[in-house]
Amino acid sequence: MTEQPGRLGGERQWQYRFLDAHVDRVRYPDGSAGEQVLIHHPGAAAVLPVLSDFDGPDPQVLLIKQYRYATDGYLWEIPAGRLEPNERPEDCARRELLEEVGCRCERLVPLTAIWTAPGFTNEKIHLFAATGLTQGESAREADEFLEVHTLPMSRVLTMIRDGEITDAKTIATLLYVAGFDGVLRG
């Protein structure tokens, strides 16, 4: 009988701020063993701010255009951020909505959760949509360089199709909301 797959051992290679990299010895489903690099991440939440009735003819949403060093340029994204210790994903989504676009919401709709790159990290992002927005004051972090844009959903979907929006969490959230009729009702 083959033993359960999973971690057999390993050690930390480095740790910086919220990231923790390990090289682990792993048992695979066929019983063999090997090494895997795993970057531990505390998880994150991302939120699509919806400005108008989503059942209307062309709902308006907020997107941010943010500088990302890893991509050597700007990406269209939805507000997002990592979970603080013991923070619930819902609370993180509300915090990021306020910090990045300066909005509070009456209603936060849980959508789904995604694994960002399961080949090397355990980062899981919880996706939400926010409705009933009221404007407040943003409080961006020192390394956040972004612009907030109001766009109709039809334009956003075209931007995905044309490769202008390439951020995975943003694409997943927008297509989830667009693909499941009534997901924001209730």
Which residues are catalytic, by number? 144
User: Tokens for 180?
Assistant: 């499941």
List the structure tokens of 55.
């059942």
User: Looking at beta carbons, which pairs linking 1-5 to residues 24 or more positions away fall under 8 Å?
Assistant: 2/29, 2/30, 2/31, 3/27, 3/31, 5/29
Return the number of other C-beta atoms located less than 10 Å from residue 103's C-beta. Answer: 22
CA atoms 62, 67, 68, 72: torsion sign: positive
d(CA 21, CA 16) in angstroms, rounded, equals 9
Residue tagged 């936060």 (tokens): 108
